[in-house]
A and B are shown apart, each in its own frame.
Chain A
């Protein structure tokens, strides 16, 4: 495909293209671009909700402050850790469930509904239920379950207040809650793979692993890229579980950037500081998404 050709074709349909894109573009500008620019502006001020003091330009002070704030750095680290753990785990789990459901066994519809159900429930409800599951003491469900499978070797723990276990506890429930959605997307992708590819592979003597490796995975590449990207973005937005289950504790072990920003505005009126946090956060998510897209695109070129 040569360059001038592409350009002319775009030109032919430019007007219609813009017209069709207008509603979506308008939404993007109004609700994404504009708020971001406003936040960017506020991040360089000393703006506080309702303060009678004059508004001042403070340069990069807010950014210096948040990067010197151990709570914010902890929040950033927690976000990265959460994404690094949850994205692969959740994608693998979703893929596994999708493959199982794609076997065409009996009760597929039932299990598909069952696996998808957590996605339908509001996260706040799920968080409250899991607070009960994680209840400390031998009577807590999770403690009881672990006691059962370790044949009594498990010492009851207070999961949500344990500095080492609080974050994994949130991860577990998040993976459980979110995997259903990814599973449905991957399942749709699986069902689009033509049967004859598998038949051809079988005729060539491919076993089930090789069929998975050389037919399923390449065919599933686009849904997988989509799933990984969306999971990454959503995992960075971790908030509800933290707000309801741990309030960022114990000792900052589960705080996240979103949680810190909301705390800054709504308990301390620090709009400027929260804006600086969200700007940093936006750039970080943008960077991660961009890197992922680049990697995915290169893969495509190689393939």
Chain B
């Protein structure tokens, strides 16, 4: 039995500590408070260096502006942010995971960036960054990096099975992909040839697998006004795509990837994966590593996008100073430094051109072309996103376990629609409206 207190207490304690921390501000000059998630060691180091460099630059310019960084553990980051927002304790500049943006905008916590961030900086950003940060016609957040999703492949195994190597212009279609799986399976010891990163679970299901649904013409929610999931998430196209994924699993083509090494040990020939998988895969497979687009299930190949991004809070006392720091983070050297630390796609064209991995012809060039070319769909821009993703994850778990696809998706769609209705379709009211019109 469990003798520990539930983890709320830990979260509350951390919040209390964070709140105490905040009260020390305002000692001398302008202190811009920044919260970020404590990512990998390398990311934390780069961010700390960036803060130090920015502060040093300010001192050189005789400015008394200083930036103070607080790192918050990633696991409970969003829950802590929500609690701090309710308590009115948000900092000036805030980092959070992309698709949660819309909830914060609707709650009136954020301030639009488009009027604050220099036009030139905005113009240099990847379209996917702007797309994810836009809600109700205003730009609320920008990231210094984006994510890339693709299909990693083992060139040797594809050649042995005599499978054509696709690219973005001529991707595998559905039958070709199914056929490729069977041909690979015929040469494979256990018949498991595809890694869908099923071990990741959680947000990965939505991020990594909903592009397959979108490629088939379905989606998580109707994208025109984001008010309806029924008929879309449980529509013909979405159901068809999920049945296809389920058939791969049932036929035993998908490796459960429990050890997170299915592809790195060359146990499978194909692996759905993100930019973060590249360093390990390229170290193991070298020149045999291919990066391919996802299969085209009818409406062209689709992929995921979105990652951590920055936003200025509505109650910030120093919004311009916060944006100055953000503009500093978007300078090519800084974008490249962060991209080197976490391997993600640099968010600006200038940085991409100078990145050995992502420049045209570089090994990860495909990720950039996907983000630039409209292949990447942001996760739905609605405050209902947390419910959408939670329900989709549950539905996917059911489908994965062999449940009937139509009813699993229908159940998810109904819960999502009830949630939207309960929130009256998320009308732009109160502080959020004021901010959107600012």
Could you tell me which A residues sit within 8 Å of B by CB distance?
46, 48-53, 71, 86, 90, 119, 122-124, 135-137, 158, 161, 163, 174, 177-178, 181, 231, 234-235, 237-241, 247, 249-252, 258, 262-263, 266-269
Contacts and interface: CB of A to CB of B under 8 A. Distances in A.
B401 A263 contact: no
B187 interface: no
Nearest to A263: B390
Contact of A174 (B2, B4, B429): B2
Contacts of A269: 82, 103, 386
A135 B258 CA distance: 8
Given A137-B258, A161-B401, A251-B398, A266 B2 contact: no
A268 B386 contact: yes
B79 A266 contact: yes
A269 B100 CA distance: 12
Interface stretch (B21-29, B277-285, B356-364, B416-424): B416-424
Contacts, number: 94
B82 A49 contact: yes
Nearest to A160: B258
Nearest to B259: A135
Contacts of B106: 52
B429 A90 contact: no
21 contacts: A46-B422, A48-B423, A50-B82, A50-B85, A50-B107, A51-B423, A90-B1, A122-B4, A123-B3, A124-B4, A135-B258, A161-B401, A181-B3, A240-B4, A249-B397, A250-B398, A251-B401, A252-B394, A266-B79, A267-B387, A268-B387
Nearest to B198: A161
Given A46-B422, A51-B423, A240 B2 contact: yes
Nearest to B6: A239
B400 to A, nearest CB: 8
Interface residues of B, number: 39
Given A119-B3, A174-B1, A263-B390, A50 B401 contact: no
A8 to B, nearest CB: 41
A163 B401 contact: yes
Interface string B326-347: 0000000000000000000000
Contacts of B1: 86, 90, 174, 177-178, 181, 231, 234-235
A240 B431 CA distance: 38
A251 B2 contact: no
A245 B139 CA distance: 39
Given A46-B422, A52-B107, A262 B2 contact: no
A266 B108 CA distance: 19
B201 A247 contact: yes
Contacts of B109: 50
Max chain A Cβ within 10 angstroms of own Cβ: one of B3, B6, B78, B432: B3
B6 A262 contact: yes
B256 A237 contact: no
Contacts of A90: 1
B86 interface: yes
A250 B401 contact: yes
Contacts of A251: 397-398, 401, 403
Contacts of B137: none
A252 B391 CA distance: 12
Nearest to B107: A50
B430 interface: yes
Nearest to A139: B259
Interface in B410-438: 419, 422-424, 429-432
Contact of A268 (B4, B258, B419): B419
A49 B86 contact: yes
Contacts of A234: 1-3
A154 to B, nearest CB: 18
A262 B6 CA distance: 10
A47 to B, nearest CB: 11
Contacts of B4: 122-124, 240
Nearest to A241: B2
A266 B103 CA distance: 13
Nearest to B432: A52
A136 B424 CA distance: 45
Q: A51, A174, A181 — which one has the most chain B CB atoms within 10 A of its CB?
A: A51
Contacts of A237: 2, 6
A50 B79 contact: no
B194 to A, nearest CB: 17
Contact of B256 (A48, A136, A258): A136
Interface string B86-122: 1000000000000000010011110000000000000
Contacts of B6: 237, 239, 258, 262
Contacts of A231: 1
Contacts of B419: 268
Contacts of B107: 50-52
Given A50-B85, A268-B390, A136 B258 contact: yes
A184 to B, nearest CB: 12
Given A51-B423, A267-B387, 6 more contacts: A52-B106, A52-B107, A52-B432, A137-B258, A234-B1, A239-B2
Q: Sorted from nearest, which 7 A-B pairs have the closest CB atoms?
A: A178-B1, A234-B1, A250-B401, A266-B79, A50-B107, A52-B430, A251-B398
Contacts of A49: 82-83, 86
B346 to A, nearest CB: 31
Given A174-B2, A237-B2, A269-B386, A53 B424 contact: yes
A123 B5 CA distance: 10
A198 to B, nearest CB: 31
Contacts of B400: 250
A247 B79 CA distance: 17
A178 B6 CA distance: 16
Q: Which of B1, B85, B397 has the most CB of A within 10 A?
A: B1
